[in-house]
Amino acid sequence: MQIDELIDNFSFFDGWEDKYKYLIELGNKLPHLSDDKKTAEWKVPGCQSQVWIIPHYEKQHIYFEGDSDAIIVRGIIAVVFIIFQDKSAQEILNIDVEEIFDKLGLRDNITQNRRSGMLSMVDKIRYYATQSLGK
């Protein structure tokens, strides 16, 4: 799924109850990490729930796998992955994620704790991108 399709899908729903159901659906499609991958090395600091994000570098692109112990947060991980998946490190650093979150309505319609965690996920992904560029 591409970012534009994700935005279109979110705009299809009238209320946030349906959008939350869609977030949960997206999270349910995310493969679970095995317990041996749920280590401190991959844990995202700043999230109220436990979140792990693992980068995989292939040619010029970065791919991610991740998981959480909370169902809504798994959906947020799925959204973040749609935004950043299969991009180069420089593309990841250039994405205006706040604009995308605004278009999705996530800034105003998720709790402050989840929003903070979402931004921590973005920071972790940008950290991986920066590391891959050797900056």
pLDDT at 135 over 90: no
Look at the chain and report how many structural domains it folds into: 1
Active-site position among 47, 83, 118, 122: 47
Better-scored residue on pLDDT, 112 or 87: 87
Domain, as residue range, for 41: 3-133
Establish whether 53 is a catalytic residue: no
- Distance separating alpha carbons of residues 78 and 55, to the nearest angstrom: 14
What does pTM read for this prediction? 0.93
Average pLDDT of the chain is 92
CA geometry: angle 114, 54, 38, nearest 5 deg: 75
Residue 48, domain CATH: 3.90.1010.10
- Positive or negative, the Cα torsion across 23, 1, 52, 11? negative
Residue 35's pLDDT is 96
